Amino acid sequence: MKRKLIGILKNETVLIISFFLAIASCFLVSPDLLYLEYFDCNTLILLFCLMAVMAGFKELGLFQEAGNYLLRKISTQRGLVLTLVFLCFIGSMVITNDVALITFVPLAVLILEMANMNTCLFLVIVLMTIASNLGSMLTPIGNPQNLYLYSVSGLSLFQFLKIMLPYSLISAVLLVISVWIAFRKKTVSVVVPAPSGAVFRPKTLFYLFLFVLCLLTVAKLLPATILLPIIILALLGANPRLLLKVDYSLLLTFACLFLFIGNMGRFPPFRQVIQQILSGHVIAVSVGISQIISNVPAALLLSGFTQEWSSLIVGTNLGGLGTLIASMASLISYKQVTTHVPNQKSHYLVVFTLWNLLFLAVLCLASFLILQV
């Protein structure tokens, strides 16, 4: 029982903290009907639907099949690492950063072992994690905070992409340079599994159709209230188990943070302090707070105190770099790698932190220069 409780505390730390913050805030602002206005139902519905559909794609092995196809074309160390890194970078734009890491990190561990590149394991996984966090920042569906900020800001899809495109291009260049410097053009021989035929299964088209419906809701062409029953009924008929694979702890974390932020926004002393700190420093504050509480809670917290949406979107996305908890997706790769090499956790953390801080410094400098233009 004690071990189970410790496990819950470790795995659901953000949810537990969010829950207690929400409860504590209720003592500052007495419950009333305004509580109902705190919750952004569109964001919660979209998150639920996207996670359910992505679980369907993952169960088919579609993403891993795509990765295997690309890896069959590779013959050098540099090409191998570039492929693994950009699978995460490009994949996270569509399948989210956490799904990209859950899918491609185990594949990378297997491939690197087969290519006798075990000494490069930590650096490759760190670069894949950075790529996943940076690739996901381009699109509203790339990560949870983007989906939320896109919803509450009222920005069009084109406006959102325009804000983040310069940072994505700079990130892509940085990743290519990093891999080019760190890895040689040494020939490798990797045998990957034969095609499974997952891409051509009828269910692939079914999940693709559901994903298109989600995209229509992201584009604000299909109401979330219509999307939700369609997704639930479709999955109940096709594969009810997928509804159990949704990350409900993330949804509950969002709900708790909505309650906390709503209450704190009605508590004058707290509101005044946050507004003073944010004034003219939204990106810096967003990056800084993300290092402590991660970028998703930071986005939800700060969104109640500023209308500088562009800066908040940039700040919380860049804030996913830095510490291990700056982006909760980074914990996915950490857990998978340290399970594989349990006695080298500190070494991984050193490599992870150094490379993350390097990328964060360059991108923060880039944000300063972009704002000056």
Task: Report yes or no: 336 and 106 within 8 Å, Cβ to Cβ.
Answer: yes
Determine the pLDDT at residue 114. 76
Q: Which of 140-144, 171-175, 326-330 has the highest mean pLDDT?
A: 171-175
- Model confidence at 283: pLDDT above 90: yes
- What backbone phi and psi angles, to 5 degrees, belong to 187? -70, 135
Close Cβ partners of 165 (under 8 Å, ≥ 6 residues apart)? 138
- Model confidence at 77: pLDDT above 80: yes
Spatial distance between the Cα atoms of 35 and 39, rounded to a whole number of angstroms: 8
Lowest mean pLDDT among 60-64, 176-180, 212-216, 341-345: 60-64
Q: Is 20 helix (H, G, I), strand (E, B) or coil?
A: helix
Q: Which of 57-71, 127-141, 274-288 has the highest mean pLDDT?
A: 127-141
Section 190-199 average pLDDT: 61
The C-alpha angle with vertex 135 and arms to 219 and 97, in degrees rounded to 5, equals 85
Residue 63 binned pLDDT confidence (cut-offs 50, 70, 90): low
Report pLDDT digits (tens) over 364-373. 999 989 887 6
Q: CA torsion angle for 273, 277, 282, 288 (degrees, to 10)? A: -100
Residue 215 binned pLDDT confidence (cut-offs 50, 70, 90): confident
Task: Report yes or no: 258 and 21 within 8 Å, Cβ to Cβ.
Answer: no
Residue 195 binned pLDDT confidence (cut-offs 50, 70, 90): low
User: Residue 329: which of 132, 95, 104, 167 has the closest Cα?
Assistant: 132
Determine the pLDDT at residue 164. 95
Report pLDDT digits (tens) over 82-112. 999 999 999 999 888 888 888 788 888 878 8
* DSSP H/E element including 288: helix 282-293
User: Can you read off the two tokens belonging to residue 261?
Assistant: 């932020």
Between residues 62 and 370, which one has the greater pLDDT?
A: 370
Amino acid at 67: G
Model-level pTM?
A: 0.79
Residue 269 binned pLDDT confidence (cut-offs 50, 70, 90): confident
Residue 15 binned pLDDT confidence (cut-offs 50, 70, 90): confident
User: Can you read off the two tokens belonging to residue 184?
Assistant: 């040689």
Section 341-351 average pLDDT: 85
The C-alpha angle with vertex 321 and arms to 182 and 57, in degrees rounded to 5, equals 85
Spatial distance between the Cα atoms of 317 and 103, rounded to a whole number of angstroms: 21
Task: Report yes or no: 169 and 130 within 8 Å, Cβ to Cβ.
Answer: no
Lowest mean pLDDT among 148-162, 237-251, 257-271, 340-354: 257-271
Mean pLDDT score across all residues of the chain: 85
Q: In the block, which residue shows the tokens 């949406």?
A: 309
- Model confidence at 227: pLDDT above 70: yes
Residue 39 binned pLDDT confidence (cut-offs 50, 70, 90): confident
- Model confidence at 131: pLDDT above 70: yes
- Beta bridge partner(s), residue 36: none
- Model confidence at 256: pLDDT above 60: yes
* Residue count of the chain: 373
Spatial distance between the Cα atoms of 147 and 322, rounded to a whole number of angstroms: 22
- Model confidence at 116: pLDDT above 90: no
Q: Give the distance, in angstroms, between the CA of residue 74 and the centroid of all CA atoms in the same chain.
A: 27
Task: Report yes or no: 148 and 40 within 8 Å, Cβ to Cβ.
Answer: yes
Determine the pLDDT at residue 67. 66
Determine the pLDDT at residue 358. 96
User: Can you read off the two tokens belonging to residue 288?
Assistant: 């800084």
Determine the pLDDT at residue 10. 61
The C-alpha angle with vertex 138 and arms to 132 and 144, in degrees rounded to 5, equals 70
Determine the pLDDT at residue 197. 59
Determine the pLDDT at residue 313. 96
Amino acid at 148: Y
